[in-house]
């Protein structure tokens, strides 16, 4: 299989927020710091907020990648609020509505399609636990834990668990309020359980990677936790490629 893609989208998703290295920390999404730096080296100037949309970086063959600003009106974003804590809106958090993965290679019948963006809709934990909660992403748990009045100096208060739950509730609540589709992790696990049954009933076997099927929160409350999966990788499928940036 030849490995030099003709068209390459350098963004990991078509919609993502910039991450600016200020010297004293990252403003925005640390995960995009390298791409943000590259865009800046190409003359792109972001506003400098924690939620600036990155331009698309698209490369054809060996030519220099071109930058394309996303038309602002095409991107739906959801400001976050909490159903019980009014102060939550003051954190001025938000996320975009649609995750469109654009850095994977689609393989069908031995052919590789290097520029094949695809989207679904979000599961709440992707945003509420990982994007906004991970320490190497927006890292919002300490602030939320403190606003909730929890003892954040001791793990024993389970402040992280409780802050995570509050953040996840805010994500689901806000997407619902704005009429943007999102699935919670309990419903998604139930849906997958039904899929497993239906596939078996149809005489097909199910494969899956448990580490991806398990939600990061409340995992033991889902059937996935108590199930083993055949990790065979079948095609057609999407595959990762190495992530080094253009220079
Ligand atoms: N986990 C990624 C994110 O938080 C999105 C990956 C695709 N997710 C999906 N539900 N289709 O942005």
Q: Quick one: pLDDT at residue 5?
A: 53
Beta carbons within 10 angstroms of residue 134's beta carbon: 15
Band (pLDDT 50/70/90 cuts) for residue 6 is confident
d(CA 46, CA 22): 13
- 123 CA closest ligand 1 atom index: 10
Determine whether the shortest distance from the Cβ of 29 to ligand 1 is under 6 A. Answer: no
* Confidence (pLDDT) at 154: 97
Kindly state if the Cβ of 123 falls inside 6 Å of ligand 1. yes
pLDDT at position 209: 96
User: pLDDT tens for residues 41-99?
Assistant: 999 999 999 999 999 999 999 999 999 999 989 999 999 999 999 999 999 999 999 99
Dihedral angle, C-alpha 93, 157, 155, 209, nearest 10 °: -60
Indicate the average pLDDT of the chain.
95
Q: Residue with the nearest Cα to atom 10 of ligand 1? A: 122
pLDDT (tens digit, 9 = 90+) per residue, 144-157?
999 999 999 999 99
Question: How high is the pLDDT of residue 104?
Answer: 95
C-alpha of residue 239 to centroid of ligand 1, in Å: 15
Burial group, residue 18, by CB count within 10 angstroms (0-12, 13-18, 19+): buried
For the chain, percent of residues with pLDDT exceeding 90: 94
Question: Which residues are within 8 A (CB) of 80 and not within 5 positions of it... i.e. 6 or more apart?
Answer: 88, 89, 91, 93, 94, 95, 170, 171, 174
126 lines ligand 1 (CB under 6 A): yes
Residue range 207-236: average pLDDT? 97
The residues with which 100 forms a beta bridge, in sequence order, are 119
Alpha-carbon distances, residue 157 vs 76, 128, 162, 205 (angstroms): 37, 20, 9, 43
Residue with CA at minimum distance from ligand 1 atom 6: 99
Predicted pLDDT of residue 9: 96
244 Cβ partners below 8 Å, 6+ apart? none
Does the beta carbon of 99 lie inside 6 Å of ligand 1? Answer: yes
**Binning pLDDT at 50, 70 and 90, where does residue 231 land?**
very high
Measured distance CA(202)–CA(204) in Å, rounded: 6
Q: Is residue 31 within 6 Å of ligand 1 at its C-beta?
A: no
Q: What is the mean pLDDT of residues 12-32?
A: 97
Residue written as token pair 């004293």: 24
Mean pLDDT value across residues 12-23: 97
131 close to ligand 1 (CB < 6 Angstrom): yes
Q: How far is the CA of 142 from the centre of ligand 1 (A)?
A: 23
- 159 pocket-lining for ligand 1 (C-beta < 6 Å): no
d(CA 92, CA 137): 16
Domains of the chain (ranges, CATH numbers)? 1-74 (3.90.440.10)
Please tell me if the CB atom of residue 14 comes closer than 6 angstroms to any atom of ligand 1: no
- Residue 5 or 225, more confident: 225
15 lines ligand 1 (CB under 6 A): no
User: What does DSSP assign to residue 34?
Assistant: H
């Amino acid at each position: 299989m030849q490995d030099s893609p003709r068209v390459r989208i350098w963004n990991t998703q078509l919609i993502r927020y910039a991450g600016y290295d200020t010297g004293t920390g990252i403003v925005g999404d640390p995960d995009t710091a390298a791409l943000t730096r590259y865009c800046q080296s190409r003359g792109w100037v972001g506003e400098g907020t924690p939620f600036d949309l990155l331009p698309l970086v698209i490369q054809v063959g060996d030519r220099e990648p071109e930058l394309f600003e996303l038309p602002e009106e095409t991107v739906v974003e959801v400001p976050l609020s909490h159903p019980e804590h009014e102060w939550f809106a003051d954190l001025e958090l938000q996320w975009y509505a649609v995750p469109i993965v654009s850095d994977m290679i689609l393989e069908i019948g031995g052919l590789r399609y290097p520029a094949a963006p695809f989207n679904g809709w979000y599961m709440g934990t992707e945003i509420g636990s990982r994007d906004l909660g991970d320490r190497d992403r927006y890292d919002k748990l300490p602030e939320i834990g403190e606003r909730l009045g929890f003892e954040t100096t001791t793990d024993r208060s389970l402040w992280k668990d409780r802050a995570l739950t509050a953040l996840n509730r805010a994500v689901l609540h806000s997407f619902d309020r704005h009429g943007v589709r999102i699935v919670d992790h309990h419903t998604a696990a139930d849906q997958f359980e039904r899929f497993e049954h239906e596939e078996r009933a149809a005489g097909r076997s199910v494969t899956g990677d448990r580490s991806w099927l398990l939600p990061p929160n409340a995992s033991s409350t889902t059937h996935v936790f108590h199930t083993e999966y055949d990790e065979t990788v079948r095609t057609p499928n999407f595959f990762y490629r190495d992530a080094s940036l253009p220079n």
